[in-house]
C-alpha cells in the first residue's frame, strides 16, 4: 500500500540515522548494540531503498535536545547525576548492573532522544507522513533512573513533546511489540488520558521487568487506556497476530489518536537469546502493516516507528529494514526466499564475525507453541474486565491489510 496524505498527495517516509548513535555502547560483551540497528539502515541502502525520486524515502538528521526537553520526562536530579557520571564513569552502573555507565553516556543517550524527536518534528511539520528511528525505542528508562539497557527514554520524552510541546496533539496512541514490557512508558503515562498504551510482551512472571499484566489498566484519567497482552514463553505469530487483530483496531478506533507511536522491539523474534517468544519476520510485517493501515484510517497517516530490543543482529537488521520499507510502500523484501544483497552480507560478516543469513525470511525452526484458542479467550476475558470493553472476534479479512 502506497503511503498518502489525507489530501491524497504523497506521504514520504524518513529514516533517522546518525553515526553518533553507535556511541551508545556498553562494551563488546554487552548484549545490546546499536551496530545491528545501523545494519538495518545499510541493508536499506544496499537494497536501493533510498535511490528514488525526490520526495521518496530519505535519511533525516538528528536534532539537538535542550536539557529542558529531557526534563519534560526525566527528573533534574537524575539528569545531573547522569551528566556527572558521563564525565567520569569509573566502572559505575546506572541501575542494578544491567546498564553500565560509559564515557559520554549522557550525550550518546540524548542523541538517540534527538533522533526520535527529529522524526516527530518531521511529522508535525508535514514534511513526512511516517518516520523511523531504528536506534530508538529505549522504553525501560524511568523519570529518575536507567533500567534494562535504557539510559534515557526517547519514547517517553517524545510522547511528552507530542502532547505538550509545539504543534501538540490531543491524543497519542503507543503500540509496543517488544518482548519486554515497556514499563517506563506505561507507568510514565499511567494516569494520562491522552495516551492509549497497547503492549504485547512475554509474561512478566517469566521475563524482565516483571510487569505488564492485564489488571494494570491505568488510573485516573488514564483508566482503561493501558492494555497489556502478556504471552507465555513459546508463543509466536499464531498468538500475537490474532490477538493484534482482535484488540488493536477497536481500541485505536475508539480512541481516535492524532499520532501513533510504534515500538518495534525485535527480541520477540524466534531465536533471540534474551527472550522466549517466536515471532517471525512475517509476523512483524503483518502487525506493522496493520498499524500502518490504521494510521491512515484514523490520523492522516501520522506514524512514528522506533526500534527497541533485539539481541541477534541478523534478526534486528532484517525486521527493522523490512518494516520500514513497507511503511514507504517500497518493500525491499518482496517474495519468499529472496536473497539478501551479497555486499551487505560480506559487510555483516566482517562486522560481527559470523556468517550472515542468506535470505530475508531465513529463520530457525519453531518449537511447539503452548498457545491455544482457550488461551486467547482467557486473556481476552481478563482484558475486557480490566478495560471495561468488549472484543468480539474480528470479521474475517476485515483488518488483513
Catalytic residues: 140
Q: Give the residues across from 263 on adjacent strands.
A: 176, 306
What b/e string do you get for 93-118 counting C-beta neighbours within 10 Å, with b at 16 or more? Answer: ebbeebbbbbebbbebbbbbbbbbbb
DSSP 136-176: ---TT-BTTB-BTTBSS-HHHHHHHHHHHSTT--S-EEEEE
Q: How would you classify residue 262: left for phi > 0, otherwise alpha for psi between -120 and 50, otherwise beta?
A: beta
DSSP H or E stretch at residue 383: helix 373-387
Other CB atoms closer than 10 Å to residue 251's CB: what's the count? Answer: 22
Pairing of strands 13-16, 58-60: parallel
Q: Give the residues across from 236 on adjacent strands.
A: 278
Compute the distance between CA of residue 113 and CA of residue 150 in angstroms, rounded to an integer.
11
Other CB atoms closer than 10 Å to residue 186's CB: what's the count? Answer: 24
Amino acid at each position: 500500500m502506497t503511503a498518502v496524505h489525507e489530501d491524497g498527495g504523497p506521504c514520504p517516509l524518513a529514516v533517522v540515522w546518525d553515526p553518533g548513535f553507535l556511541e551508545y555502547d556498553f562494551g563488546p560483551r554487552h548484549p545490546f548494540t546499536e551496530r545491528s540497528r545501523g545494519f538495518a539502515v545499510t541493508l536499506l541502502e544496499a537494497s536501493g531503498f533510498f535511490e528514488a525520486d525526490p520526495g521518496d524515502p530519505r535519511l533525516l538528521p538528528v536534532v539537538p535536545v535542550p536539557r529542558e526537553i529531557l526534563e519534560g520526562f526525566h527528573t533534574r536530579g537524575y539528569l545531573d547525576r547522569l551528566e556527572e557520571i558521563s564525565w567520569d564513569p569509573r566502572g559505575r552502573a546506572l541501575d542494578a548492573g544491567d546498564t553500565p555507565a560509559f564515557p559520554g553516556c549522557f550525550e550518546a543517550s540524548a542523541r538517540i532522544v534527538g533522533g526520535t524527536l527529529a522524526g516527530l518534528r518531521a511529522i508535525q511539520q508535514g514534511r513526512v507522513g511516517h518516520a523511523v528511528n531504528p536506534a530508538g525505542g529505549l522504553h525501560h528508562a524511568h523519570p529518575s533512573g536507567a533500567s534494562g539497557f535504557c539510559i534515557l527514554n526517547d519514547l517517553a520524552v517524545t510522547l511528552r513533546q507530542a502532547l505538550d510541546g509545539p504543534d501538540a496533539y490531543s491524543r497519542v496512541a503507543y503500540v509496543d511489540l517488544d518482548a519486554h514490557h515497556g514499563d517506563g512508558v506505561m507507568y510514565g503515562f499511567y494516569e494520562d488520558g491522552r495516551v492509549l498504551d497497547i503492549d504485547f510482551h512475554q509474561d512478566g512472571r517469566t521475563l524482565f521487568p516483571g510487569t505488564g499484566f492485564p489488571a494494570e489498566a491505568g488510573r485516573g484519567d488514564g483508566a482503561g487506556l493501558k492494555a497489556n497482552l502478556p504471552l507465555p514463553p513459546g508463543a509466536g505469530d499464531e498468538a500475537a497476530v490474532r490477538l493484534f487483530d482482535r484488540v488493536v483496531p477497536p481500541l485505536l478506533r475508539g480512541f481516535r489518536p492524532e499520532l501513533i507511536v510504534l515500538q518495534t522491539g525485535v527480541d520477540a523474534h524466534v531465536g533471540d537469546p534474551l527472550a522466549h517468544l517466536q515471532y517471525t519476520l512475517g509476523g512483524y510485517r503483518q502487525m506493522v502493516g496493520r498499524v500502518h493501515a490504521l494510521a491512515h484510517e484514523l490520523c492522516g497517516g501520522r506514524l512514528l516507528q522506533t526500534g527497541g530490543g533485539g539481541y541477534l543482529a541478523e534478526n534486528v537488521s532484517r525486521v527493522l529494514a523490512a518494516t520500514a520499507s513497507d511503511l514507504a510502500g517500497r518493500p525491499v523484501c518482496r517474495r519468499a526466499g529472496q536473497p539478501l544483497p551479497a555486499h551487505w552480507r560480506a559487510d555483516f560478516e566482517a562486522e560481527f564475525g559470523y556468517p550472515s543469513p542468506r535470505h530475508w525470511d531465513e529463520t530457525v525452526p519453531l518449537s511447539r507453541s503452548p498457545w491455544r484458542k482457550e488461551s486467547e479467550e482467557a486473556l481476552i476475558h481478563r482484558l475486557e474486565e480490566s478495560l471495561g470493553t468488549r472484543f468480539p472476534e474480528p470479521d474475517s479479512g476485515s483488518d488483513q491489510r
